[in-house]
Structure 1
Amino acid sequence: MYINQFGRVGIGTTAAGEKLEVGSRDDDVGIRINAGEDKTARLSLMETSAQKRLGYSWEYDGDDGILSLRSNGYRDDADDKFMTFYRDGLSDLGMRGTLNMHGIEGDYSLIRMTNENNPDSRMILGLSKGNPVIDFQDQPLTINANGRMALTIETRGNVGIGKATPERNLDVEGDAEVSQNLGVKEDLFVFENAEMKGTLKVGDGATFDEIQELLARRETV
């Protein structure tokens, strides 16, 4: 231990830059705070004066096996935990406002999600040149609503609405309504009945049989 002329204490160093500095040139360094069985161990970073006592604490609750980052004085409610880590690997963020995440240009991976049972499957959320990016591989991206399949995007790029395994670029299972113009540049296939309201415009190359099929086998157009 070394105490310099400024009252700074060095353990393993003679050049302490803070009130307490622990260092070693040759060995790993650690600080251990040991509490009794089922007790709480705490490391607090505080700003204290006659008027206020503010700061944050890392706190390990030995009774529940929970590690949390807590507020001291910044939040008035009882639930003052900003971050909580549980012994089973789960974690919570107790934010009272928007969670902001910042990245660097060229790396849009702000959030990366993987699964240990499917090591090749991953999804990345982020921004690239200001544009939102969702990047996934190996498994389809699915969106469910109330337990039902709403949207699927396959790794081939096929999009399914109400369908888990889309077979085409856009595969809709169920009713679909287009309120404005629908443009089809190539072939249009109707596998069941089609109902038309308003004007039907057919370009060059359409045969009467094709028009009948499109109008669900009506004999006049």
Structure 2
Amino acid sequence: MIRVLIVDDQRLIRAGLRMLLESTDDLQVVGEAGDGVEAVRASAESEPDLILMDLRMPGLDGVAATRQIVGSRPAAKVLVLTTFDDDDHLYPALAAGATGFLVKDTAAPDLLAAIRRAVDGDMPFSPALLPRLVGRALVAPRGAPDTVALTPREQEVLALVGAGLGNQEIADRLHLGVTTVKTHVGNLMDKTGCDNRVRLAVYAYRRAESH
């Protein structure tokens, strides 16, 4: 069972998310918070597997709350869910330690899948954000995209990471085990110098553009 803390300053949003999450067999809502201060406290008390974090809230905002939560619990997974996907929100949230970034018009099935992916070690983000991440040169690989030697299988996995697929989706697409996919992703991070999945996805995008 995946334990989720919902953080949003709007009660109706929290209620809707709770109904959605509790309609599944593997997600459990362990708490709610209406601002950043409550989020930090609730996270420490309930130790959820994942925090769904809004950004614009009164008092302590979502970015500051994420920074405090991840600072005290480095293994904490914070998945941003916000109306605002502009650069002033995206990059500070990622820098604070968010494990993914979704906008609130994300389809319900995609949100549920993103929660599971984040807990599994993926970094889900809305696909439209990738070009902007590339534009800001978020990733700085050890070598130019076309100079890092990859095996044919690693190239396949990298392309699917760049397309925003999670480990299970890649495993299904390539008819591999999830553990095997995780091994490939780890090897790709080592070879490219990317320290998280978002940077690896950006690297994949840049590599594809260079060919």
> What TM-score does the superposition give when structure 1 sets the normalisation length?
0.23
Q: Of Structure 1 and Structure 2, which has the larger fraction of its residues in strand?
A: 1
- The structure having more radius of gyration, on CA atoms, is 1
More helix per residue: 2
State the TM-score, normalizing by the size of structure 2.
0.23
Tell me which of the two structures has the higher relative contact order, counting C-alpha pairs closer than 8 angstroms and 6 or more residues apart: 2
